[in-house]
Structure 1
């Protein structure tokens, strides 16, 4: 059943919408055509769920968010074309997010406030995107990726699993702006990009590398390499970095950090060995 907080509040639900059990819809919500909302979804005040959106079970949609936002083809004739948006299970979308159509987003997705996600993106499971971040179109983002607040992810970026992108990072894509030739940044698994870094078009940041805060990265970064500065240059291997308190090695970080990771209940080595056995 649908639970509406007050019957007098304005709620518009298209007759074609498919609604599951125990859905809570607050006031001033609009739900469009061919929308699927699975069980135990909470939709807060003032949300607009446009046509062809599928929200999977257990998800929370924060106040004044817009899901399935119009693509550019809408503005030619003011007709909303078929651009599906799929939101995975147990998603937490906070207030005033705008997520366009033609996106597929995995389970356990979380956002901060006022996040924008353009069209044609594939976003994996257990991804977090911080407040005021902007994900442009045609990006591919893996699983367990953390993108902190105020980040700009340029179109055609490719971000693999277990990547950390810290606040105010910019991934660019136009080598000779303005132009029609775009070269997205590629970031391999377990890399960490520190705050206020700028990654120039087409740069490939390899596995387990670390980009220092404020770096301007103009060239590819090799595996397990630390780069800093403008332009960024190698200063050492990640294995040379020690914890300032304990003096013990810190990187590769998957061996020393596990909060929120799939190996949280044991450790990375135990977890990966178990996966190998299962294969």
Structure 2
């Protein structure tokens, strides 16, 4: 393990602890994590977050987690996240054994009001921004460069193909891909 990896990992864990997050000793954060927690963050065991140039896919992007004041983000056990952005305004639940590929965006909010007059005003009202919970069940694999939109549920054991935009629920044990993501086939064991 390089000196950079040790220092950045310690720095990231300190940021989490200062924010009041309970951190299990098995959590590893490699690279610089951009982190803001105004709400609630619940972390499982054995989480791996890769951020920045150490990951060959997405070298130019750091991983980021942003939780707004009313947001609750739960990340289960044995989750791997590579250079991705998670923006939680209401509720995002990531189950156990989930893999999230590099350059993904997972957001439960529109981020800005859809009304143009409100959006361009100096006093943008976040209360008028639509939010809806995201649930990612256990054993899900999300390929690189996917966007997971607000209000969706991805069923257990499902796979989301690289570059997909998920705008509606994905049932368990299915492979979906495309923009917007569509059913490809059932997962075969």
Q: TM-score, normalised by structure 2?
A: 0.73
Q: Following TM superposition, by how much is the alpha carbon of 1:184 offset from its aligned partner in structure 2, in angstroms?
A: 3.2
CA deviation after TM superposition for structure 1 residue 154, in Å:
1.6
- Once the 2 structures are TM-superposed, how far is the Cα of residue 177 of structure 1 from its aligned partner? 3.0
Q: Identify unmatched segments of 5+ residues in structure 2.
A: 52-61, 114-125
Query: Which of these residues, 11, 19, 31, is aligned with residue 113 of structure 1?
Result: 31
CA distance in 1, matches of 2:25, 2:45: 5
Structure with the largest fraction of helix: 2
The answer to whether the Cα contact below 8 Å between 2:144 and 2:162 also exists between their aligned partners in 1 is yes
Paired residue for 2:58? none
Whether 1:207 and 2:156 are equivalent positions in the alignment is yes
Structure 2 CA distance for aligned equivalents of residues 63 and 184 of structure 1 = 29
What is the total number of aligned residue pairs between the two structures?
A: 154
TM-superposed CA distance for 1:64, in Å, is 8.4
Deviation for aligned residue 1:65: 2.5
Aligned to 1:159: 94
Deviation at 1:63, TM superposition (A): 7.9
Greater RCO between the two (CA within 8 Å, min separation 6)?
2
Which position in structure 1 is the counterpart of 2:43?
A: 123
The alignment yields a C-alpha RMSD, in angstroms, of 2.3
Written as runs of structure 1 = structure 2, the 5 A alignment for 1:165-180 is: 165-175=100-110, 177-178=112-113, 179-180=126-127
Distance 1:169 1:234 in 2: 19
Aligned with 2:184 (options 235, 249, 265): 235
TM-score (norm 1): 0.51
Tell me which residue corresponds to 2:78.
Answer: 144
Q: For 2:136, which of 147, 171, 187 is the aligned residue?
A: 187
Which residue does the alignment assign to 2:63? 133
Distance in 1 (alpha carbons) for counterparts of 2:25 and 2:183: 37
CA shift for structure 1 position 238: 1.3
User: What is the distance in 1 between the residues matched to 2:36 and 2:111?
Assistant: 23
Q: Secondary structure at the match of 1:143?
A: coil
Distance between the aligned counterparts of 1:141 and 1:64, measured in 2?
Answer: 20
Contact 2:8 2:30 in 1 (8 A): no
* Equivalent pair of 2:174/2:183 in contact (CA under 8 Å): yes
Mapped partners of 1:159, 1:202: distance in 2: 13
Match of 1:216 among 151, 165, 178: 165
Ranges in structure 1 where 5+ consecutive residues have no aligned partner: 1-43, 46-59, 70-84, 87-99, 240-250, 252-279
**Larger radius of gyration between Structure 1 and Structure 2:** 1
How many angstroms apart in 2 are the aligned matches of 1:225 and 1:63? 35
